[in-house]
Structures are given as structure tokens and as C-alpha cells.
Amino acid sequence: MMISGKNSIGNNFSAMGTDVFYAKNPSSGEQLKTKYHEATVSEVNEAIVLAEKAFVQYREKTGFEKASFLDAIADELFQIENDVVDLCGQETGLPEGRLKGELGRTTNQLRLFASLLRDGSWVDARIDFANSDRKPLPKPDIRQMQIALGPVGIFGASNFPLAFSVAGGDTASALAAGCTIVVKAHPLHPGTSELVGQAILKAAKTCNMPNGVFSLVQGVSNDVGLAMVRNPLIKAIGFTGSYGGGKALFDEAAKREEPIPVYAEMGSSNPVFILPKALEDNQEALPEGLSNSVQLGVGQFCTNPGLTILQDSEKVRDFEQKLQNSISLSQSATMLSESIHKNYTKGLEKLKSKDSVTLVSSGKQQEMPTQGVAEVLSVTAANFLKDMELEEEVFGPSTLLVHAKDKIEVLAIAKNLTGHLTATVHGTEEDLREYSDLLKILERKVGRLLINGFPTGVEVCHSMVHGGPFPATTDARMTSVGTAAITRFTRPFCFQNFPDSLLPDELKTENPLKIFRVENGKTVVP
């Protein structure tokens, strides 16, 4: 497949601007050959105008038609697996196995949303039938279902070049919802983005989807993204990335004449609490499991366990020793880019410059560019509680051990946490009984609470919540992974006194789609 280096404004390549940029291979430090054209503000706006025109048609597509489109995207991606994995490997330094896995996850995600659409019940159809005999006033016929918001702007993430990028979760859920989309490719993997974008456009043609259902804009500068957020035709934003980036988009959207929802998943440090008896019972498995989780994907996961809270006991020293050994034997690995690597190093330096923080262990540094070296640091709970900065995410393969003297300090740490995507508690049955208050406190701090596991690895399924209270996200009411993500791009709509023929199939009295509905307050089985 050819890479043009241009933007895709609907089905047309476009390169009107003069700003260009190049991707870089983080493993070699070499600049890749293809020149990418940053989209101009007018190209972005053109894509959005097309998305608006396409929306008028796309929103009328049936669930089955949209499902076929999503499946066709998955098929196209599967067809170009080798090209994608090869180019993406060059742009991100991620190993083949990981990229194949991520592509599989991406296509499965598209197929999962397709199955949700074929099932059809996700629209939350509700009907209250008319009752002309009701006193004092007759009851009108009222029917509700979820409908699409409108054109959506999506920002590809750096750390998942496939599963959270051009054909990732935001795209799958927005297209499933019935929204047309304009995707801003992440500048660290523009070629991968174009390849994936072409696959989507090919699928759109095969499925007779309107021109403009999908556009892809490239760019390094903030102007491209800001143009998207500022355009009044855009009705929602999906973003996965840094706190700085996400919050800037949120603030910009709030300033619009018509404010719009911004779903920014901004990462977190995912505290892991290890309770005393669990520590004693799992002297091998826990340090090894934590070490693996910290290093997974060179720590470049939103769910990386950046904080580990330990309560003092005889066995804590052993645990720390084993973790130290495991980390000190670890080999550094290539991070996604020089800037991510630099920020990781800076984040660690900042921590280590604090009197309160001690370095416990470092992995081995390989003599290659952009190497992320695993590190374990340590601080007392008392000092941790005094310094809010210690809770902030350091994006990379590190964790900060927080040593609590007793249960009181453990609970104090939990209470003082801001919002995170996840929290984890390792505990025996006895621990969990004794620390039930800890679980209750953590429920208010996160979107997902795990027992005896590790937060890395986000299952794409119906029950997943990848979200959580601010500052983990800008909207705790939503998830960006799993089928529930679809409602980010919909709103409830109410048809009053419509003749059956003018109602959408989901709400026709005969229930032709055989979906679950709430009728007069009772769930009716189709």
C-alpha cells in the first residue's frame, strides 16, 4: 500500500498547507522517509463540513448497515496486517508480537460493536403507550431511544497506535453510535494512521457509506486539534493522552458558544494496595507480578501501576528486596519517542530530587536510543501525604512504593487520592474483611477496582469501565473502552404521538427488530 503523506478529506487526498513533518524510528533514532503534510485549518473545516453532510445520511443507516461497515473495516485491517505491523513497528518501536496483538484487539473491538448493533437493544428503547381514558388528562404516546449526537472529533493516542488510534475504541463507538468522524492522527505514527485510514475509507466505499463519514487529518501543531474543537459542527470530542492535552481541549470546548462534551482519558497512576496477609502469602508472586505489570509495554499504559502502597510488616523488606532484584535484572526497552522518553526521565529526576524519595532499584540501561529504564522509588506515607506531586503519573516503567506505618495511614492515603482510572487491592479473605472500608473509599476514587490482579490489561467487553473521576478523565460518567462507550456519542430522543410508520424500527409497536424494550415501565422480552 502506498503512503501519500496527505490528509484524507473524505475520499480525497489533500495537502494544501506548507508545514510538513516526518516520523522517526525511536529504536534507531532515524527519521523515516515519508513527508507528512500538516492539515491547514481550512482543510480541517472542510473535513468537518463533509462530516456534517455525511451525517444526514449516515444517521439514517440501520444498525445492520453500520454493523457491516464496522466488520468491513475489521476485514480491511486484517488484510493489511503485515503492512501495518511493519510500518507501525518502525514508527513506534513496538515489537511485532505486541502490534499483532493490538491489531487483533482493534479488529475484535470493531466486531464487538458490530454485534452490539446487530443485537440492537443498546438504544435503550422505552415506550409509554397512550391512554385516552386517563383522568384528569389523557396520556399521550411517548417513545424514547438513543440517537447520534452529530459529527465527532477524535484524537489518536500515542501509546496505542492501533487500539486507541484511527480505528480504535473512539472510532468504533462513534461510528456505531451513528456519528461521522474526523480523526486527528497522532504525529508519532502518521504512516500507520494513514494506512488504517485508507482501510476505513475502502470499507466505507464497499459499504456505500457517504463521502465524509470518515476523514483523517495529520499534524504536529496544536492548531489542527483546536480547529476541530472550535468548529461549531463538531458535537463531541474523544481523546486519549496527557492531562495537559486533554484539559486544554476540555477548556477550549467549554468556551465555545455551544459547549460540547469532551471525553478525555488522561491517564493516572493506578494505586495498588498490598495488604499484610496477602503480602505474606504471596512472597514470590506479588513482587514478580508487580514488576511485570510495571514494565509491560515499557510502562506506557494508562493503567500502569505507578503507586504501590505497602503496610509495614515483617515481610515488607523481603517484598522490596525481591522487587529490587527483579527490576535490577530488567533490561531497558525502546520507548515510543524521544519526547516520551525525555518526559519519563524528567519525571523520575523530579521525584528523585525530593528529599523524601529514595531510589530502590533501577533496571539495566541498554546502549540504544530512547531507552526506558525501569525504576522503583520509595517514600513514607507521611511524606507522601504532604506532597501532592508524588501522586502524579510518571508515564513509563516505574512505581513509587509508599510505606504506610499502619492501617490508619493506608486509609489516609486512599482518602487523599484524586481520581484514577483504577485502583487495586491485594488481600486475603481476612485482609479484605479487615479492610472493607478501604474498598469503600477506593470506590469513590476510580472507575475500576480490582482485587488480586494488576491494572494493566483492559478487557474489551460489555462490563469494562475505562474511565474514572477527574483528573483521570474529564467525564466520569463514561467509559472509553467496552460497549458502554457508545453512549458517549448519543443522546436520548423522545417521539410524542408519532404514527407507527414514521417511528424508527426500534420504537415501532410491533418491535420488528426484536429488541429488549421498557414498555410502560416493564422490560419486555422480545
Active site residues: 265, 302
Please report whether residue 432 would count as binding a second copy according to CB under 8 A: yes
Q: Is residue 457 a contact partner of residue 289, using CB atoms and an 8 Å limit?
A: no
Closest distance between a second copy and the C-beta of residue 526, in Å? 9
Which stretch, 214-222, 288-296, 302-310, 444-452, contacts a second copy (CB under 8 A)?
444-452
How many CA atoms does the CB half-sphere of 491 hold within 13 Å? 8
Smallest separation, CB 516 to a second copy (Å): 5
- One DSSP character per residue, 45-96 reads HHHHHHHHHHHHHHTTS-HHHHHHHHHHHHHHHHHTHHHHHHHHHHHH---H
Closest by CA position to 64, among listed 114, 17, 20, 105: 114
Residues in 143-172 that interact with a second copy by CB under 8 A? 143-144, 147, 149-150
* Contact of 26 with 372, CB cutoff 8 Å: no
Among 142, 220, 233, 368, binds a second copy (CB under 8 A): 142
Q: Which one of residues 221, 222, 436, 509 is an interface residue with a second copy (CB under 8 A)?
A: 436
User: Which of 2, 132, 135, 137 is close enough to bind a second copy by CB under 8 A?
Assistant: 137
Q: What is the DSSP string of 198-238?
A: HHHHHHHHHTTPPTTSEEEE--SSHHHHHHHHH-TT--EEE
CA distance 145 to 125: 5
Cβ–Cβ < 8 Å for 446, 272 = no
Task: Find the binding residues for a second copy in span 403-422 (CB under 8 A).
Answer: 418-419
448, 456, 480, 506: which one binds a second copy (CB under 8 A):
448
CB of 283 to a second copy, least distance (A): 20
List binders of a second copy among 27-66 (CB under 8 A).
56, 60
Pick out residues in 174-213 that bind a second copy (CB under 8 A): none
CB of 407 to a second copy, least distance (A): 18
Dist CA 70 CA 107 (whole Å):
9
Torsion of CA 448, 449, 452, 457, to 10 degrees: 10
Stretch that binds a second copy, among 121-129, 177-185, 304-312, 394-402 (CB under 8 A): 121-129
CA angle 117, 478, 512 (to 5 degrees): 25
Interface with a second copy, residue 514, by CB under 8 A: no
Which 253-272 residues touch a second copy, going by CB under 8 A?
Answer: 254, 258-259, 261
The residue from 386, 405, 494, 500 that contacts a second copy (CB under 8 A) is 494
- Interface with a second copy includes 78 (CB under 8 A)? no
Q: Minimum Å distance from CB 448 to a second copy?
A: 4
Identify the residue among 250, 263, 384, 395 touching a second copy (CB under 8 A): 250
Radius of gyration of the chain (CA): 25
Backbone angles phi, psi at 189, to 5 degrees: -140, 65
Binding flag, residue 484, a second copy (CB under 8 A):
yes
In contact, 182 and 154? CB cutoff 8 Å: yes
Minimum CB separation of residue 13 from a second copy in Å reads 30
Pick the stretch among 79-87, 290-298, 343-351, 492-500 that binds a second copy (CB under 8 A).
Answer: 492-500
